[in-house]
Structure formats: C-alpha cells, structure tokens
Amino acid sequence: MAALPLAPGSTVGILGGGQLGRMLALAAARLGFDVAVLERQADSPAGRVAMKLIVGAYEDEAALEELAQLTDVVTYEFENVPAKSVEWLVTRGVEVAPGPKALAVAQDRVAEKTFLNANGAPTVAFAEADTPEAAVAAVAQIGAPALMKTRREGYDGKGQRWVEHAADAARVFAELGSVPVIVEARADFVRELSIIAARGRDGGTAVYPLAENHHEKGILRRSIAPAKAPKALQDRAERISARVLSGLEYVGVIGIELFELRDGTLLVNEIAPRVHNTGHWTMDGCEVDQFEQHIRAVAGWSLGPTHPTHQVEMLNLLGEEALAWRRFAAEPETRVHLYGKREAKPGRKMGHINRVKPL
C-alpha cells in the first residue's frame, strides 16, 4: 500500500477513459502526478492525455493487475464501473477512493434513497418493484404521475419514464426492460440545484457554492454558479453534504443533485460519487476546481480553497455545437473546454464552455 500523502511523481490510476477521466488526468499532471487509465476503447479522451493506457474490460483481471502494479492509488470517473472490479483491487491492497461503499450505494437507486433518508438527507417518497404487478402497486402507493426508473444504470434521462396512471405501470415496466425499478413521487420543485463537496483522508471537508441547473430532455444544458441563494439555503445544502460524506466514509469529490421546494426545503435527487457535470463551472470560477480537488483528496493532500472568483454560466456543447469552437474562442468572456471526442453524435457531450464575469 502506498504511503500517503502521495509525493509528486507517484501514479494515479483512473477507471474510465471519458471526458471526466481526461480532466482528472490533466489536473493530476498539474500536481506532478503520472496517470494510468484503464479503458475499454483504444482511442479515448482520457487515454490520449495519460502516461499509460491499459486497454481492457473493467472486469479483466489481467488489466486490473497491470493497473494495480502501476499505480499508487486508483479512482474512477463514473459510478457504473463494476463494483467487483473495485473490490478486486481493494482485496489486493490497492488504495481505491472513493471506496466500495460509495459505489454500492450509488449504483442502486433504492439503496441510494434508503441511505440518504437514514442519514438525514430527505428525498421524495419512493417504492421498489421487481414485477409488473408490483410496479402497478408501487405507482398506486406513491400516486400518479410518478417517475419510474431502472434501479441500476441509466444517466442523462436514460432508463426512466413518467407513469401518468397506475394502469400504465405494467406497460412502462416492460418498456424499461422488465428489470427491477424504483418508483418516485413527483417533486413539486421551483428549481434544480447541486452542490459539489469534497472530503479528505483526514475527514476534513470543502464545499463549493450552490449551482442552479437547467436540463433539456434529461441532459444538463447549463449551470449558473454561484447560484442566487440566501445563506440559509447554502447552509442547508452544506449540512446535507456533510451527512452524506460522513455516512459514506467518503474520500474525494461528490456531486449531490437537489430539488428546491417553494418553502426552501431541499430534497436530494441523487448523488454521484465522482466529479460532476454541474461542477464544471469551478474550472474557471474557483481558486481550486473540482478536478484538482478530487486528486488532492485521493492522494491524501490537504484540500484546496473553494472560494468563487467569478460568476460563471456553464453550457454543455452537444453534438455539432462543438464545431462552433472558433466563435466561442473569440469571445473574451468565454473559456473553451473540448473533450477530444472523435465523432459528434446528437446529444453527445463534446465539451463545455464557461462564460465568466465578475462577482
């Protein structure tokens, strides 16, 4: 097991080679670390900026062994890496952060909401279902309209459907693949917020200002941060983040998506045990961004300051929108972040821009 804190020149391993892995690798390089990436594709955004790319399935024990031999600590860029892969690394003495508990909770929506409620982080009412009949009963219990989601996987609006009437529940259950689901009550929220928080190996925490988020067709379109919010609301979000981080015995950066109700109540929509799309604004709006913060945490360094330096509007560039890079680059207030993906597909996140202005 590597001695912590890791000294510059150590190697950080990343499971996953997408854009989040790429930005983590770039942040690690700034701090003097080398990076090894395990990714299924030979040509990936993170792989092209890493010291070493291991091409293989996340469950491939030979690939995992190579990663273990190369690295001093391993992290992951998304929560759907197989939990067994993380467990395999941990049982062989590899330091993995965030740990298996965070991954297990985040990979199952029922486990996630059960954990949140048990740790003082309120959510909408929910029920689980494994059969068409149970799905009908769950919607009848929660009340229609209700949101039905697959318990596992699914992101950017995938793996979920609205159920307008309990009688439709069996059909929607089948449309989602007849797999175990969670049925969630509708949240009567006024806006969607998120908070990015970090916890170090010493238990210390660092929390960023709230971001206000706007989605289109289930995909994040833009974030505005720091969000216009009274101190009481920020404090409420920070208390939620503290309970989540402590309950998970967490190390690293976490994204927590929130619903703000009319009376100022905050409900947790979901958690993501990783750096998060709604935290991209920190790259140009904070003293230390979420990617550097995550590397600091997993490497055992002290956490950096989260004070905002600018007001930021972050816009995701989807599909061919990224082809307008020349125009964006000519805007004095705009910072361009492209992910190096080869093919622009509709709805695919190709990059983002941060438009900055003084606070």
Say if residues 302 and 200 touch (Cβ distance below 8 Å): yes
Q: Are residues 87 and 174 in the same domain?
A: no
Whether 105 is covered by a domain: the verdict is no
151 and 52 belong to one structural domain: no
Query: How many H-runs (helices) and E-runs (strands) does the chain carry?
Result: 11, 17
Give the span between the Cα atoms of 308 and 332, in whole angstroms: 19
For the stretch 266-315, pLDDT in tens is 999 999 999 999 999 999 999 999 999 999 999 999 999 999 999 999 99
Say what the pLDDT of residue 217 is: 86
- 232 and 297 co-located in one domain: yes
86 and 178 co-located in one domain: no
Residue 228 within any structural domain of the chain: yes
pLDDT, tens only, 13-25:
999 999 999 999 9
Picking from 136, 153, 185, the residue at the C-terminal end of a domain is 185
Classify strands 73-76 and 11-15 as parallel, antiparallel or unpaired: parallel
pLDDT of residue 234: 98
Helices (H), 71-108: 83-91, 100-107
pLDDT digits (tens, 9 = 90+) for 96-141: 999 999 999 999 999 999 999 999 999 999 999 999 999 999 999 9
Q: Is residue 294 in some structural domain?
A: yes
Does residue 207 form part of some domain? yes
Give pLDDT, residue 1. Answer: 63
Tokens found for residue 157:
């609006």
| pLDDT at residue 157 is higher than 90 | no
In this structure, are 288 and 233 located in the same domain? yes
Band of pLDDT at residue 153, cut at 50, 70 and 90: confident
Q: What is the pLDDT of residues 47-72, one digit of tens each?
A: 999 999 999 999 999 999 999 999 99
Same domain, 278 and 318: yes
Are 196 and 265 members of one domain?
yes
pLDDT over threshold 90, residue 4 = yes
Indicate whether 111 belongs to any domain: no
Q: Does residue 343 sit within a domain?
A: yes
Domain that holds residue 151: 125-185
The answer to whether 271 and 254 have CB atoms below 8 angstroms apart is yes
Q: Are residues 212 and 329 in the same domain?
A: yes
- Give the pLDDT confidence score for residue 343 in this predicted structure: 93
Tell me: do 69 and 135 sit in the same domain: no
What pLDDT, on a 0 to 100 scale, did the predictor assign at position 122? 97
Phi first, then psi: give them for residue 296, nearest 5 degrees.
-55, -45
Are residues 221 and 265 both part of a single domain?
yes
Distance CA(48)–CA(115), nearest Å, equals 37
pLDDT tens per residue across span 88-108: 999 999 999 999 999 999 999
**Which residue, of 59, 81, 96, is where some domain finishes?**
96
Does any domain span residue 103? no
Q: What is the CATH number of the domain that holds 226?
A: 3.30.470.20
Supply the CATH number for residue 144's domain.
Answer: 3.30.1490.20
Nearest to 296 by CA among 100, 33, 36, 99: 33
The answer to whether residue 41 scores a pLDDT higher than 90 is: yes
> Is residue 203 domain-shared with residue 347, that is, in the same domain?
yes
What was the pLDDT predicted at 80?
87
pLDDT at 77 over 90: yes
Number of domains in the chain: 3
90, 77: one domain: yes
The structure's pTM equals: 0.96
pLDDT in tens, 217-262: 889 999 999 999 999 999 999 999 999 999 999 999 999 999 999 9
Q: What is the 3-state secondary structure (H, E, C) of 162-216?
A: EECCHHHHHHHHHHCCCCCEEEEECCCEEEEEEEEEEECCCCCEEECCCEEEEEE
